[in-house]
Amino acid sequence: MKAFIHEAGQLKISEMEEPVAAKGEVVVAIRAAGLNRRDLYIPARRGDATEALIIGSDGAGVIESVGEEVTAFNIGDEVIINPALRWYDKSDAPPEGFDILGMPDHGTFAKKIAISAEQIEKKPIHLTWEEAAVLALSGVTGYRALFTKGSLQAGDTVFIPGAGSGVATYLIAFAKNSGARVIVTSRSEEKRKQALELGADIALDTASDWQQELAGETIDLVIESVGQVTFNRSLGVLKKGGRIVVFGATAGDTVDFDLRAFFYGQYQLFGSTMGSREELRDMLAHIEKHGTRPVIDTVFPMNDAKAAFNYIEDSKQFGKVVLRISE
């Protein structure tokens, strides 16, 4: 079968052996797969590893075969892949054995995938294949950051630096669905406009003076994923006793901040990564209740996967980027 793989330091389209469902597994014929920034880091992490790896964490498709002892799903079911492996119940941190699909396990950028039946969920019926394919990783990441870690309540004001990322678009939608006020930032005038159209109340230029622009408006919750270049500025607009949740660091992993100012401000800092199956199911119920649809920026055919990678690396997208695997 055709797949997009990493092998001997190279990303390429190649032929791989078709998967077979073992006991407790299903084989899903992938219709579409979602790209995530995580996928960009796989080649550097693997280096010159000679064993071919199918990358990709997100995907949606149709069950083609089921292994022994699979009773919850049938051939023909339309499903999405849950890329948070072996994390079933909501917890303060992932359990031992947690991993993310796409390394070291074969991922979703292929015609088919064999995966545990514990790692699939029914596809929301109101979503297209492309929308369903980009839902799980970014959606559950945003949901956990907002609700499990950030304890979002109706009437809160949420501040989101970096409005164009896939997770950010979910954050805007989920927060507005929940009665929150949403403020975002972006360097791009076009992305600020798109964020407002999506429902954000205010969209600030990242280069502007945020405190001056907000004129004293208090922020209850900051969701940070940019990292070094925005972290302290985000703290600067957070109200005393406010909450800041960090789930990424696209612009620098290491941050220096004033501990004395932090504890005098009695800020609350939380780390977050992905989410459990329980939170994924809660997120699916949320989007079905509110009719929420993922924001799709661009769809690439699988043969153009390298171009899709470059597109994300240049941060051109507003929302999610999709690989169409099959019709």
Does this model's pTM top 0.85? My answer is yes
Separation of alpha carbons 135 and 309, rounded Å: 18
CB 147 within 8 A of CB 62: no
Answer yes or no: same fold for 2-135+295-324 and 140-271: no
Neighbours of 99 (CB within 10 A): 14
Tokens 């990783």 found at: 137
CA distances to 81, 152, 179 from 219, rounded to whole Å, are 35, 12, 15
Looking at the DSSP bridge assignments, the partners of residue 182 are: 158
What is the domain partition of the chain in residue ranges?
A: 2-135+295-324, 140-271
Looking at the DSSP bridge assignments, the partners of residue 139 are: none
CB 140 within 8 A of CB 273: no
CB 62 within 8 A of CB 78: yes
Query: Tens digits of per-residue pLDDT, 11-56?
Result: 999 999 999 999 999 999 999 999 999 999 999 999 999 999 999 9
CB 19 within 8 A of CB 44: no
Separation of alpha carbons 293 and 56, rounded Å: 21
For 212, residues 6+ apart whose C-beta sits below 8 A from its C-beta are: none
Tell me the CATH number for domain 140-271. Answer: 3.40.50.720
pLDDT at 327: 65
Range 2-35 burial, b when 16+ CB lie within 10 A, else e? bbbbbbeeebeebebeebebeeebbbbbbbbbbb
Q: Which two tokens stand for residue 58?
A: 């997100």
Tell me the CATH number for domain 2-135+295-324. Answer: 3.90.180.10
- Residues in the chain, pLDDT under 50: none
pLDDT at 255: 85
Separation of alpha carbons 174 and 109, rounded Å: 28
Q: Which two tokens stand for residue 25?
A: 């597994």
Phi, psi of 54, rounded to the nearest 5 degrees? -80, 120
Query: Tens digits of per-residue pLDDT, 213-232?
Result: 999 898 999 999 988 888 99
